Amino acid sequence: MMGFSTEPILIWFVLGYGLLMIVLGFIYSKKVESNEDFILAGKSLGPVVLMGTLLATWVGSGSVTGGQNSLAYSFGLWPAIGYMIPSIIGIGTIYIISSKIRNYGKYTVAEILEMKYGKVASYIAAVIIILAFVGIVSYQYQGLAYVLHVSTGISVELGTIIAAVIIILLATMGGLMSVAPTDALSAFLITIALIIAVPVSIAVAGGWDSIVSHVPDTHLEPMGTLSFMQILGFYIPMLFLLLGDQNIYQRLASSKDNKVTRVGTIGWVVGLLIVTPLISLLAFIARSIFPKIEPGMALIALTSQLPIVIGGVLIAALTAFITKTGNSYLLSAATSVLYDLFGENFKHKHENKMLMMTRILVPVLGVIAFMLTMYFPSVLSVQMYAYTVYGAGITPALLAVFIYPKVTKLAGLASMAVGLVATLFWEFVFVQSTGINSALISVPLAIIVLVVVTLFTSKGGSQSELETTH
């Protein structure tokens, strides 16, 4: 039960699905006439596509190689299932403010921050977004490399190169107009595949009693092998990324109207309540069959043990989730560079010039993401770094725009700077020696700075009220 054999036939499922994604991407890319089409899908998404793209974007490689997959394999079943709690809290908050987000009609989170805190805020945000999103894209490459390793036997290193090429190519082709419909298809496919795979996997592993006997006893305890502080260290980055995630805001701004936004958001929660426990269960089962593999490979390795059609559909769907998340975050990072760092230079240029620049930036950032794959020891470690950089540096200042009207310009800027610096400092100086996730330090610091500086600077009347655009 130690190792697994590669299943070459699985690659045909992956290739077949990949070909379908490319064809659909090509068809939808024909509809791209402007940069708004490329980035906001022409504000045309209906409820089903919106629900699907939200689910596929949020449950990507972070879930199927890091997140609940790695938590269930390494630490225990219940901490992994509990991983959906921060998501539900985050989505509930977004649901409440979704119409406000949509009515801003902005391409990027940095543009929203600029309206409230000035131009410097958008520059800081752009740097944070690039640092975080390029990190997120890098572990999508690793996720797809695991798929190629299990299905073809090629090395993970070579698989990572091939994965990078595929993800960069797909993101460059059609932007959000092509990403969103293919997202939706992938989301529905993986949900069905996971529902079928759980009972089959239990049977393949010899029944529930056999599974339990082959995993450590601690894996079924309420907190697994983790302390409460360690669990918070995994949950808080997730919550604060979601609350300010540009990808999510970008999709909410892409819906037809506020009603569609709300229906799509409810559907997203329902999908999450189904998908998260199923991924956790499958990774837990994988631990009983493969006790000594890289945690990030748990779910993908399990596909090699399932009946060929079920394993094939599941690995194809996992591949889709990984590539879709990679596309989305690569697109968002490119958008941020163009609009937030260099936007002033392009204001008077033709729309086609903007579109061409976005398409040049996607592969450049894609290559930087590939270089990052060499610097982090595991999917889970790069995931926590990326989430925290974003969640501490952007989210408190961003949420304040919608729910804390008193916040001042100086407070927003100070919160962003403290969140960013505290995260990077803790990650590179203290995280190894203390074992404490940087999110437990930098997120509270960013919030405290936001409130304290507001209290000290709001009385002088320097606060300019936000002008919302409708």
Distance, in Å, from the CA atom of 76 to the CA atom of 215, rounded to the nearest integer, reads 9
Q: Which helix (H) or strand (E) holds 118?
A: none
Half-sphere exposure of 300 (CA within 13 A, CB side): 34
Query: Of 290-294, 322-326, 350-354, 439-443, which range is least confident?
Result: 350-354
C-beta separation of 256 from 44 below 8 A: yes
Q: Note whether residue 68 is domain-resident.
A: yes
Give pLDDT, residue 179.
61
Task: Give the number of domains in the chain.
Answer: 1
Per-residue burial over 272-306, b = 16 or more CB atoms within 10 Å of its CB, e = otherwise: beebbbbbbbbbbbbbbbbeebbbbbbbbbbbbbb
Confidence of residue 174 (pLDDT cuts 50, 70, 90): low
Which tens digits make up the pLDDT trace of 63-106?
888 899 999 999 999 999 999 999 999 988 888 887 777 676 66
> Which 3 state secondary structure label does DSSP give 159?
helix
Please indicate, yes or no, if residue 200 is contained in any of the structural domains: yes
More confident residue, 421 or 179: 421
CB 305 within 8 A of CB 10: no
Domain assignment present for residue 202? The answer is: yes
State pLDDT tens for residues 43-62. 667 788 888 888 877 876 67
pLDDT band at residue 314 using 50, 70 and 90 as cut-offs = confident
Q: What is the pLDDT of residues 217-252, one digit of tens each?
A: 999 999 999 999 999 999 999 999 999 887 787 777
Q: Which domain holds residue 148?
A: 10-231+241-367
Q: Say if residues 468 and 103 touch (Cβ distance below 8 Å).
A: yes
Instruction: Give the Cα separation of 264 and 210 in Å (integer).
Output: 40
Is 401 a domain residue?
A: no
SS3 29: helix
Which pTM does this prediction carry?
A: 0.84
138 inside domain: yes
Under the banding of pLDDT at 50, 70 and 90, the label for residue 324 is confident
CATH number for the domain harbouring residue 162: 1.20.1730.10
Residues in the chain: 470
Specify if 267 maps to a domain. yes
Do the domain assignments include residue 333?
Answer: yes
Q: Is residue 73 part of a domain?
A: yes
